[in-house]
Amino acid sequence: MCGIIGSVVILCVGAILVVVSCLVTFIAIPSLIENFVINSVVLLEDTIQMERFEDVPFYLNFSVTIFNISNPNEVLNGGVAAVDESGPYVYRLYQGRNVSGLEDDLITYRKTEYFEFDAEASYPYTEDDIVTIINVPYHAIIQIAERNFPELMSVLPLAMNGIFGQYNNPIMNVRAGDLVIDKIPMCTRPGIIGTIACAAIREMASTADNIEVQDDGSVTFSILANKHNVASPKYEVYRGLTEPRNLGIIRHFDGLPYFNYWTDEEGEDGEVIKSRCNDINGTDSGIFPPLLNRNNNLYAINTDICRSVELRFQGEVEFEDIPAYRYSANEWFLDNDDGCFCLNTTAGITQENGCLFKGAMELYSCVGKCHLYCIILLFCFGTASPLSICCIDRLQCSGNVLLLFI
Ligand SMILES: *[C@@H]1O[C@H](CO)[C@@H](O)[C@H](O)[C@H]1NC(C)=O
Ligand SMILES: *[C@@H]1O[C@H](CO)[C@@H](O)[C@H](O)[C@H]1NC(C)=O
Ligand SMILES: *[C@@H]1O[C@H](CO)[C@@H](O)[C@H](O)[C@H]1NC(C)=O
Ligand SMILES: *[C@@H]1O[C@H](CO)[C@@H](O)[C@H](O)[C@H]1NC(C)=O
Ligand SMILES: *[C@@H]1O[C@H](CO)[C@@H](O)[C@H](O)[C@H]1NC(C)=O
C-alpha cells in the first residue's frame, strides 16, 4: 500500500516537476525573454534604444553601380547600347532621425542621411573615374522643350552649348563622383537663347528631385545630392508601448496614411479608391518590430522607389553569434498583376498591356514630374542592410534594385 502510495506520490511529484519544467522552458523563459526584448526595443524616452533610434550607431554600405556604355559611337548612330557594370562605388550611409514629437504611442521625426565615399570599399573604382552614360538632363530638356515650347525647337540647338557646356551631347562622359553626389553643372553660361531654356529648367527643378537651382542661377544634376544632408518628409510611427508588434509601423508619412504616386481606381460614383500600390505598409526600413513570426511577411517603405516593399523570411542566419532571421525582398516585389504600378508614361520597354516589362519600374511620378530619360543605375545595399533588395533575373544581379528614371 505504502509502496503504491509512495510511487503514486513520486509519480505525481515527477509529473509536477515535468509540468513545472515544461512551463519554465516553454512559457516562463520565453516570456521573460519576450519582456526583456520588448523593454529593450520600444521607444521610451531616455533609453539606449531611443538614442540608437535618433543616431543610428553604425553606417550602411550604399553601393551604386553605373552602367558604362562601351559603344557610344554606335549608340549615337542609332545602335543598341552595350553596357558594362562599373562599380560598385560604395558610399557609407550614416542615418539619423530628428525627433520632433512624442505623443502617447506615437513618435514624429524626419530621417536624415549623410553619404561619404568609401575609397577602400570601392577600390579599384574611384570617384574620379570617367563613365559614359546617357545624358539624362540633356534628354529631359529636349523632351520638355518638345512638349512645352515647340516653337523653340528650331533654335534649341543654338542654346544647347550654353546650357550644357562640355556635356552638350546625347551621351556624356562624366566623372562618377559628379554624377552620383558632387553634381553636374548646367546653365553656367547660358547665352541669350539659353536663358529662356534655363528658366524652364529652373522651373522644372521645383518638381524634379535630381535637379537643383544654385544661388547663382545655374542648375545642377545628380543622383544622390538631394538626399545628402537633407531632412526627409515627416514620419509618424508607433512607439510600440501599447502593442510592441507595432513598433516602428508608420501611421502617416508626409502627413498622409498612403502614397499618391500610383494609379488609383475610381468607384462607381466617381470617388477615388486607393489602390494597394499606394499602401504605406510597415516601417521606415531602419527599424523593425520585435517578436517576428517567420510565417508573416515584413513590410518597409523605400522612398527611393516611392513604395512599400514586402520582405519575406529567407532562412535562419547568425549575426555575431546571435541567431537571427533573414528577410529580403526578391523579384516578387516587382509583381504588378493588378497593374497599379503602371503609369503608361514610358514608351519603348512596355508589354502589350502598357505596363513595363517585369523587372522595371516606372519612376516618373516618384522622381519628379519632369521626363527624365532612361538612366539605369543599380543601388545595392550592403549585406547587413536591413533592407536587402534583390531583383531582376534578366540583369542577373542580386542584392540590387533596378531603378529606371524615366
Ligand atoms: C561595409 O563594407 C565594409 C567593407 O567592405 C565591411 O567591412 C562592413 O562590414 C560593411 N558594413 C555593412 C553594414 O555592411
Ligand atoms: C567606361 O567605358 C569607357 C569606354 O566607353 C572607358 O574608357 C572607361 O574607362 C570606362 N570607365 C570605367 C570606370 O570603367
Ligand atoms: C532638427 O529639426 C529642427 C527643427 O526642424 C532643426 O532646427 C534642427 O536643426 C534639426 N536638427 C538636426 C540635427 O538636424
Ligand atoms: C500592404 O499590405 C497588404 C496586406 O497587409 C497587402 O495586401 C498589400 O499588397 C501591401 N501593399 C504593398 C504595396 O505591398
Ligand atoms: C495603361 O494602358 C493600358 C492598356 O492600354 C490600360 O488598360 C490601363 O488602364 C492604362 N493605365 C493607366 C494608368 O492609364
Task: Name the pairing type of β-strands 250-253 and 265-266.
Answer: unpaired
Over range 300-317, report the average pLDDT.
87
> Which residue has a Cα nearest atom 1 of ligand 3?
98
- Per-residue pLDDT band for 30 (boundaries 50, 70, 90) equals low
Distance, in Å, from the CA atom of 265 to the CA atom of 340, rounded to the nearest integer, reads 9
Predicted confidence (pLDDT) at residue 121 exceeds the cutoff of 90: yes
List Cα–Cα distances, 69 to 66, 73, 210, in angstroms: 9, 10, 21
Summarised one tens digit per residue, pLDDT across range 187-226 is: 888 887 778 778 877 877 777 777 888 998 888 988 888 8
Q: For position 155, what pLDDT does the model report?
A: 74
Whether residue 233 has its Cβ less than 6 Å from ligand 5: no
pLDDT, position 9: 54
Provide the strand spans (E) within 239-353: 250-253, 265-266, 272-273, 298-302, 307-319, 322-328
Contact 389, 327 (CB under 8 A): no
Which ligand approaches the C-alpha of residue 311 most closely? 4
pTM of the model: 0.77
Cβ of 232 closer than 6 Å to ligand 3, yes or no, is: no
Tell me the residue type at 379.
Answer: F
Query: Domain ranges in the chain?
Result: 60-228+366-405
pLDDT digits (tens, 9 = 90+) for 243-284: 999 999 999 999 999 999 898 888 888 888 899 999 999 999
* pLDDT tier, 401 (very low <50, low <70, confident <90, very high otherwise): very low
For residue 145, the CA-to-ligand 5 centroid distance in Å is 26
The pLDDT of 46-73, averaged and rounded, is 89
- Look at residue 116 in the predicted model and tell me its pLDDT: 94
Q: Which ligand is nearest to the CA of 54?
A: 3
Mutate which of 56, 59, 60, 61 for ligand 1? The one with the most ligand atoms within 8 Å of its CB, which is 61
**What type of residue is 215?**
D
How high is the mean pLDDT of the chain?
78
- Å from CA of 141 to ligand 5 middle: 26
Q: How far is 218 from 398, CA to CA, in rounded Å?
A: 38
Give 124-141 pLDDT, tens digit per residue: 999 999 999 888 777 777
Point out the ligand nearest to the CA of residue 340.
5
Sign of the torsion angle spanned by Cα atoms 170, 143, 307, 229: positive
**153-165 average pLDDT score:** 80
Q: Which three cell numbers stand for residue 4?
A: 503504491
**How many other C-beta atoms lie within 10 A of the C-beta of residue 242?**
10
Distance 353 CA to ligand 5 centre (A): 7
Summarised one tens digit per residue, pLDDT across range 334-371 is 778 788 888 877 666 677 887 877 777 777 777 654 43
Q: Is 98 in the pocket of ligand 3 (CB under 6 A)?
A: yes
Ligand 4 — pocket residues by CB below 6 A? 276-277, 279, 281, 299, 307-308, 310
Half-sphere exposure of 305 (CA within 13 A, CB side): 23
Residues in CB range of 42: below 8 A, 6 or more apart: 49, 239, 240, 241, 244, 247
pLDDT over 60 (residue 405): no
Ligand nearest to the CA of 279: 4
pLDDT of residue 74: 87
pLDDT, residue 118, reads: 95
Is the backbone peptide bond immediately before 72 cis, with ω within 30 degrees of 0?
A: no
Q: How far is CA 313 from CA 84, 297, 325, in A?
A: 32, 7, 7
Positive or negative, the CA dihedral 96, 98, 101, 102 is positive
pLDDT-derived band of residue 394, with 50, 70 and 90 as boundaries?
very low
Distance between CA atoms of residues 246 and 287, nearest Å: 11
Lowest mean pLDDT among 32-36, 229-233, 249-253, 357-361: 357-361
Q: Whose CA is nearest to atom 13 of ligand 1?
A: 60
Minimum mean pLDDT among 32-46, 95-109, 356-370: which range? 356-370
DSSP 24: I
| Structure-model confidence comparison of residues 107 and 347, the more confident one | 107
Considering only CA atoms, which of 204, 213, 207 is closest in space to residue 186?
A: 213
Whole-number Å distance, alpha carbon 97 to ligand 3 midpoint, is 10
